Amino acid sequence: MAAQKVARLISERSIGRLSLYRRLLNVLQGEGVRNIYSHQLAAMAGCTAAQVRRDLMAVGYSGSPTHGYEVPRLIESLREFLDAPGGQGVALVGVGNLGKAILSYFTGRRPNLQIAAAFDSDPYKVNRVIHGCRCYSMEHLAEVAEGQGIRLAIITVPAQAAQAVADALVQAGVRGILNFAPVRLRVPDHVHVEDIDMTVSLEKVAYFARQSAERGSRP
């Protein structure tokens, strides 16, 4: 059973969809749905049935052609595939407008992937508890991160501070960063960075909205 499969290469896109499927399945389970077909999941996720089946190949649980996928079993398989075994603590650095919103949102939501500690350089925020999360000074970053086994972090500091924060996080043993600062971070190869760039997303919306408007008016 320890025969871990030989590092199945899964695309980044697929992982995103698997996470999405899991959330949809959790909702379904709450509604008492026991079984589901790939085409139903596809309709909810906004992709094709073939894609759902292809993605699910990776998680190692096969559905039945007659009843589709058992919702609880599939959720469990996704959990095994996606989640770290013992849960994983997350640090949030930069308790400003965005950081506070994120804290409020993630507090007490997913059982694993909890935000375990917040950090800020502003002395007015240090040592306060914000949305149920203790805010530490930046000096204690390494200490707290190591003490709590934190390997993931969210960066919500101003752009000009982001690289320095990232360096400190990497130094403290962080392996994955969700970065909201509009800056391309330089990190070692073994650290994974995911950027969320709202400005770029908004400009994309603006561009394609204009595009489809023009197209729609002259088809």
Ligand X SMILES: NC(=O)c1ccc[n+]([C@@H]2O[C@H](COP(=O)([O-])OP(=O)(O)OC[C@H]3O[C@@H](n4cnc5c(N)ncnc54)[C@H](O)[C@@H]3O)[C@@H](O)[C@H]2O)c1
Partner DNA sequence: CTAACGCTGTGACCTGTTTCACGACCACCG
Partner DNA sequence: CGGTGGTCGTGAAACAGGTCACAGCGTTAG
- The site for ligand X (CB under 6 A) is made up of 93-99, 101-102, 104-105, 120-122, 125, 138, 156-159, 161, 164-165, 180-182, 198
- Sign of the torsion angle spanned by Cα atoms 93, 95, 99, 103: positive
Q: Which is nearer to a copy of itself, 10 or 138 (CB)?
A: 10
Residue 158 tokens, joined? 């101003």
* Distance in angstroms (rounded) separating the CA atoms of residues 27 and 14: 20
Binding residues (CB under 8 A) for a copy of itself: these are: 7, 12, 15-16, 19-20, 23, 44-46, 82-84, 88, 90, 96-98, 100-102, 104-106, 109-110, 113, 151-152, 154, 175-178, 182, 184, 189-194, 196-213, 215-216
Interacting partner of 158 out of a copy of itself, DNA, ligand X, none (Cβ under 5 to 8 A depending on kind): ligand X
CA neighbor of 69 nearest in space, from 99, 24, 107, 121: 24
Least gap, CB of 1 to ligand X (angstroms): 36
Least gap, CB of 60 to ligand X (angstroms): 29
Q: Who's near 50: CB < 8 A, 6+ residues apart? A: 38
Q: Which is nearer to ligand X, 23 or 54 (CB)?
A: 23
Q: Are 81 and 141 in contact (CB under 8 A)?
A: no
Least gap, CB of 147 to a copy of itself (angstroms): 18
Q: Which is nearer to DNA, 68 or 176 (CB)?
A: 68
Q: Which residue has the tokens 């379904």?
A: 28
Least gap, CB of 23 to a copy of itself (angstroms): 7
Residue whose beta carbon is closest to ligand X = 96
H-state helical runs in the chain: 12-30, 38-45, 49-57, 71-82, 97-106, 141-147, 159-171, 198-217
